[in-house]
């Protein structure tokens, strides 16, 4: 089991994390954030494995990853 936290105030909505997630759990929001971008949001959170590939590809280091040991 894993969990990610996306810092919406840092996200620039580039969408690279959406391509990194093999389970397609990340999509771009339709709402704008404070920067005027559409930030990434997670869906079906319970399926996240905590592989951290989305965080690795994020150019703005906006994703933190937590995992059960």
Partner 1 sequence: MQQVFKRPVSLKDVQTHFCPGCNHGTIHRLVAEAMDEFGVRERTIGVASVGCSVFLYGYFDVDVVEAPHGRAAAVATGVKRARPDSFVFTYQGDGDLAAIGTAEIIHAANRGEDITVIFVNNTTYGMTGGQMAPTTLVGQKTSTSPYGREHAKDGSPIRMAELLAQLGGVAFSARVAVNTSRNLMDAKKQIKKAFRYQVEGKGFSFIEALSTCPTAWGVTPIQANERVGRELIEYFPLGIFKDTADWNPQSSPTAPVEQPGALPFPEFMHEI
Footprint on this chain of partner 1 (rule: CB under 8 A): 1-3, 10, 12-16, 18-20, 35, 37, 50, 52-53, 55-61, 63-69
- Relative to beta strand 2-6, strand 26-28 is unpaired
**Shortest separation between residue 27's beta carbon and partner 1, angstroms:** 13
Output the smallest distance, CB 3 to partner 1, in A: 6
Residue 43 CA to its chain's centroid (Å):
10
What's the closest the beta carbon of residue 43 comes to partner 1, in angstroms? 18
């Amino acid at each position: 089991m894993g969990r990610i936290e996306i810092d919406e105030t840092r996200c620039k909505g580039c969408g690279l994390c959406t391509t990194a997630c093999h389970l397609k759990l990340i999509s771009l929001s339709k709402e704008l954030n404070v920067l005027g971008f559409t930030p990434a949001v997670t869906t079906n959170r319970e399926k996240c494995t905590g592989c951290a590939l989305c965080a690795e590809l994020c150019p703005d280091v906006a994703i933190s990853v937590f995992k059960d040991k």
